[in-house]
């Protein structure tokens, strides 16, 4: 399908942001009608829900605009190679038809799921392009700051909650992103650093995660005898990471503990029924062990 207008995707623009702009320029009344053209029935456009709409837009972009288009360049998806493992993730990139879960646990995760933006980027983008757009980096789960401006990201909690709405950052109510705290800088740099490593090379996910049990001296066979040592490590994890970071990432750190959190146990695969944890679990663990991890294997 040829577009009757010029609408290239911008550097660091999220794929669905491009689709929102495409929809606005198409002049169609509802997002449902634009999605309908791609063969998708009503769907919400979330920044990291790999649903039918996300996949259809990716296919549409690749077949009509750029055959070498990589969705991992224009979404936070590369981070999910931590959740699913490098080989599964590489296979998925070759065949997007296989399922890929976003493994989101809304009752456990504290991070917000709305679209995020930086007010300064929105202003700059509007100055230079005439419009603002949703940046991929700002949607990477765990990020709190705009890397370019060192400002808190603002999460749009209203604009895109209605299934019929599309919006761009400059139309959002200019809410305050909240206070900047000391722990945010190193953490934010770390999250984006890992994201860019995985974007370049999804094999890096296994090379990083496989070091964790080794560093912690756990058996490669996930034995029951690891229980005591897992608990000791979990206590260290809880003490050594900034409390504010843990509260920001996980809801259970905001509540008084009924029992010890089990971030390590569940992420390292000691719970048989939990397959694939959301990448922020891995990010928190890798950040905790950042000085012991051999990063050279991932480059
Ligand atoms: Zn910015």
Count of structural domains within the chain: 1
Who's near 22: CB < 8 A, 6+ residues apart?
3, 7, 34
In a domain, 193, yes or no: no
| pTM for this entry | 0.93
Report residue 185: phi and psi, to 5°: -65, -55
CA of 126 to the centre of ligand 1 (A): 12
Give the pLDDT confidence score for residue 96 in this predicted structure.
81
Domain boundaries, position 209: 200-298
Give the pLDDT confidence score for residue 269 in this predicted structure.
83
In a domain, 177, yes or no: no
In a domain, 280, yes or no: yes
CA of 119 to the centre of ligand 1 (A): 7
What confidence tens digit (pLDDT) does each residue in 92-135 have?
A: 888 887 778 888 888 899 998 889 999 999 999 999 999 999 99
CB atoms closer than 10 angstroms to residue 169: 26
Residues forming beta bridges with residue 117, ordered by sequence position: 154
In a domain, 228, yes or no: yes
CA of 105 to the centre of ligand 1 (A): 28
DSSP per position, 67-95 = TT--GGGSSGGGGGHHHH-HHHHHHHHH-
Residues bordering ligand 1, an ion, CB closer than 5 Å: 118, 120-121, 146, 148-149
In a domain, 12, yes or no: no
d(CA 204, CA 20): 32
What confidence tens digit (pLDDT) does each residue in 153-192 have?
A: 999 876 556 666 788 998 887 677 789 999 999 999 999 9
């Amino acid at each position: 399908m040829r577009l009757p207008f010029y609408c290239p995707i911008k550097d660091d623009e999220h794929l669905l942001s491009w689709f929102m702009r495409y929809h606005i320029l198409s002049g169609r009344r509802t997002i449902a009608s634009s999605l309908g053209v791609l063969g998708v029935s009503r769907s919400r456009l979330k920044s990291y829900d790999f649903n039918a709409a996300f996949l259809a837009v990716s296919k549409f972009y690749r077949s009509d605009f750029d055959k070498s288009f990589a969705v991992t360049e224009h979404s936070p998806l590369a981070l999910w190679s931590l959740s699913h493992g490098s080989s599964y993730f590489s296979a998925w990139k070759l065949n997007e038809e296989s399922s890929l879960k976003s493994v989101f646990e809304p009752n456990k995760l504290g991070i917000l799921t709305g679209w995020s933006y930086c007010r300064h980027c929105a202003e700059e983008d509007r100055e230079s392009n005439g419009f603002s757009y949703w940046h991929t980096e700002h949607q990477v789960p765990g990020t709190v700051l705009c890397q370019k401006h060192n400002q808190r990201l603002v999460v749009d909690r209203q604009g895109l909650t209605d299934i019929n709405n599309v919006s761009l950052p400059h139309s959002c109510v200019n809410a305050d992103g909240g206070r900047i705290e000391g722990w945010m800088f190193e953490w934010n740099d770390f999250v984006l650093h890992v994201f860019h490593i995985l974007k370049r090379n999804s094999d890096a996910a296994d090379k990083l995660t496989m070091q964790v049990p080794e560093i912690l001296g756990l058996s490669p066979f996930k034995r029951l005898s690891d229980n005591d040592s897992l608990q000791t490590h979990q206590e260290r994890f809880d003490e050594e990471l900034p409390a504010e970071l843990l509260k920001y990432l996980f809801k259970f750190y905001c509540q008084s503990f009924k029992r010890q959190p089990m971030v390590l146990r569940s992420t390292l695969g000691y719970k048989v029924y939990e397959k694939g944890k959301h990448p922020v679990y891995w990010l928190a663990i890798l950040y905790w062990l950042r000085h012991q991890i051999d990063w050279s294997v991932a480059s």
